Homo-oligomer: A and B are copies of this chain.
Amino acid sequence: MKVAKFGGSSVANATQLKKVGEIIKKDSGRKFIVVSAPGKRNKQDFKVTDMLINLGNAYVNHESYDEFLSIIIGRFREITTELGVSEYILKDIEQTIYSVLERNEPSDQKLDAIKAIGEDSSAKILSEYLRTIGLEASYLNPKDAGIIVSDEPGNAQILPQSYSKLYTLRNRPEILVIPGFFGYTIDGKLMTFSRGGSDITGSIVAAGVQASLYENFTDVDSVYTVNPNIVHQPKEITSLTYKEMRELSYAGFSVFHDEALIPAFKERIPVCIKNTNNPDAPGTFIVAEKESKEKCVVGIASDTGFSTLFVSKYLMNRELGFGRKLFEILEREDVSFEHTPSGIDDLSVIIRDNQLTPEKESKIISRIKEELKPDTVKVHYNLAMIMIVGEGMMNTVGIAQKATTALTKANVNIKMINQGSSDVSMMFGIQADDINKAIQSLYHVFFEDNKR
């Protein structure tokens, strides 16, 4: 039994939904289908969820929302008409929208209910379409599926009792189409997950029904060894482990929300990233353990948008509690950080730029000056991080040498190296401007140069 999740681009219009129908028909193991809300049909297009958020905000602010409403309904009308499914489906969707809007409930709960309409409608349309192409299929509301969540609008967490209820769905004979992105509290309130939440639903259902495979259909053939915007047509990764995926996702591999995979990872269910537009491509498998660790570097992720907070103080390493106090200052400003490389008398904190506002930065700096009395405290901007990832790397002599040689050849000054804390990755910090030549050179050494 497989769980297949289809993202926004896979359900964006009738043409895409027909491809989805083909894919489901082709493999009778695809019993549990999870869908996103319709995404963009082209670059200029809107996502239905964004339009629903506009609608919701207008509604709770007592502004006019008719235009948003008609755009949303228009979009669903187009899809259902082109697919040739029963008119009843569109009426059902419209009715759901009106009843959500009319219901008396607090604003944040109302917003969640409105946001969820996209996925819910996708599931209704797809299940009906599957029936028209001769498959036995039902729409299954998350409440009936047993997806029970915490009472946190926009950031619901799955509750453990969900899984045993989900497991009973294995006895259902037909294909079940479940909308992604939301669940219900014990007392029946609709709550959405964080954004990207259809991946979460897919992963939860895969864990719950103990699927043999969780297929995640997107619009790329696979996960690439490096960022395809930097290297033209890079090699594809055929298989990687959860741990490798996690490290790659950290810096720039945004195929999906890697945290969404936790429920599937916990049950050691293999995941496959596939392309709705090219379903015969093998895709990328994400597994608990790899069979062969021969090729130990699987991918190189990179991302810009980092800064470094540098603090130095003579004899820092004799000062008990220095690091702890520094982290407390960051914590009090609600700033989370990525890494904390330290020298004898220096400590650097690598922070994503989105964690720092100029106000927070100056507050943090003045508190550090006041409380820690350092010799130096400053922030360096425009840092890019490179993560070379692969299980087995730690026990292979020469990986660091290959990497540093590649960067030196490309004339890239290495601002930072962090190896050894993680056993599946090695991190480099460089000037953001150098990122393209750095990645190109690393790609060449690790994936093209077969002599080494």
Q: Are B344 and A247 in contact (CB under 8 A)?
A: yes
- State which of B321, B334, B420, B422 has its C-beta within 8 Å of the C-beta of A414: B420
Instruction: Bits for A392-430, please: 1 = Cβ < 8 Å to B, else 0.
Output: 001111101101110110011111111111110111010
**Residues A76-94 near B (CB distance < 8 A):** none
A259 in the interface (beta carbon within 8 A): yes
Q: Are A342 and B343 in contact (CB under 8 A)?
A: no
A residues sitting closer than 8 Å to B (CB atoms) are 246-247, 250, 259, 262, 265, 310, 312, 314-315, 317-318, 320-321, 323-324, 327-328, 331, 334, 336-348, 394-398, 400-401, 403-405, 407-408, 411-423, 425-427, 429
Q: How far is the CA of A327 from the CA of B346 in the complex (A)?
A: 16
> A337 contacts which chain B residues (CB < 8 A)?
317, 323
- State which of B320, B343, B408 has its C-beta within 8 Å of the C-beta of A418: B343
> A328 contacts which chain B residues (CB < 8 A)?
324
**Secondary structure type dominating chain A contacts:** mixed
Q: Are B413 and A416 in contact (CB under 8 A)?
A: no
Q: Are B341 and A341 in contact (CB under 8 A)?
A: yes
CB distance from A392 to the nearest CB of B (A): 12
Q: Are B425 and A412 in contact (CB under 8 A)?
A: no
Q: Are A342 and B413 in contact (CB under 8 A)?
A: no
Q: Are B408 and A414 in contact (CB under 8 A)?
A: no
Q: Are B421 and A341 in contact (CB under 8 A)?
A: yes
- State which of B324, B405, B416, B426 has its C-beta within 8 Å of the C-beta of A420: B416
Residue with the greatest number of chain B CB neighbours at <10 A, chosen from A320, A396, A417, A420: A420
Q: How far is the CA of A269 from the CA of B420 in the complex (A)?
A: 39
Q: How far is the CA of A320 from the CA of B407 in the complex (A)?
A: 33
Q: How far is the CA of A341 from the CA of B323 in the complex (A)?
A: 12
> A259 contacts which chain B residues (CB < 8 A)?
315, 318
